[in-house]
Amino acid sequence: VLRSIPGIELTDIPEAEVCCGSAGTYNLLEPETANQLGERKARNILSMQPDMIATANPGCLLQIKASLNRLGTPIPSLHPVQLVDASIRGVTPPGLV
């Protein structure tokens, strides 16, 4: 679906298969390890220099945003449905204005 949106270029990040550290309640039960995983994920994302990030998992979305913010490099992070909605309505996705 996202590939059909004009102007969107999808790119996989390095180590995409590695957890961001959220994993349900893992970030609450093991915050230090979860933060390490979150930073690893954030650095992999930053290596691709994206304009925005899209993930369907709400826990991942929050963890990635928090990790990027801790690194001082916030990037607009959206649920894929927000991109589809913006495309249908012909508007700029939230966070990119």
pLDDT in tens, 6-63: 888 999 999 999 999 999 899 999 999 999 999 999 999 999 999 999 999 999 999 9
Q: Is the pLDDT of residue 96 over 80?
A: no
Contact 52, 12 (CB under 8 A): no
* pTM of the predicted structure, to 2 decimals: 0.88
Contact 42, 64 (CB under 8 A): yes
Contact 13, 47 (CB under 8 A): yes
DSSP string, 44-66: HHHTT--S-EE-S-HHHHHHHHH
pLDDT, residue 13, reads: 96
pLDDT tens profile 84-95: 999 999 988 776
